[in-house]
Amino acid sequence: MTGTDHHAVVSLSVLATELLEEARAHHSRRTARTIVSGTSMRATVIALAEGAQLAEHDAPAAATVHVLSGRVRLHTDEREWLLDAGEVVPVPPQRHGLDALTDCAVLLTVALR
């Protein structure tokens, strides 16, 4: 088959490990790769080295954060969630940010419509 296989199986643990190695070496201390991209949803693995942040940003219509490895803090002005590997949470509808409390990788799944 030529081109990109849109139905390829992705090993999240292998990809998370590769991206975390890249994140540790990158000046931003983070990296990401979109693994599913369609008209109705997108799924992206984001790796962050300890101490890295995704600064506060507006929320998509609907999304979840699934922690693949490590520990993160998802926060809004009013609330925070401490999440460990294996935990998943809906992204709050308010502006929010994400902090890497340890080296970590998350799967962000976003509804596009």
> pLDDT digit string (tens) for 24-53?
999 999 999 999 999 999 999 999 999 999
pTM here is 0.90
CA–CA distance, 68 with 96 (Å, rounded to integer):
19
At residue 111, the pLDDT reads: 93
Domains of the chain: 34-111 (2.60.120.10)
**Tens digit of each residue's pLDDT (9 = 90 or more) over 91-110:** 999 999 999 999 999 999 99
Q: Which residue has the higher pLDDT, 113 or 27?
A: 27
CA–CA distance, 96 with 109 (Å, rounded to integer):
15
> 71-75 and 96-100 as β-strands: parallel, antiparallel, unpaired?
antiparallel
**Tens digit of each residue's pLDDT (9 = 90 or more) over 41-84:** 999 999 999 999 998 888 878 999 999 999 999 999 999 999 99
Q: Work out the average pLDDT over 11-34.
A: 96
CA–CA distance, 76 with 74 (Å, rounded to integer):
7
> Of 19, 1, 3, nearest to 68 (Cα)?
19
Q: At 2, is the pLDDT very low, low, confident or very high (cuts 50, 70, 90)?
A: very low
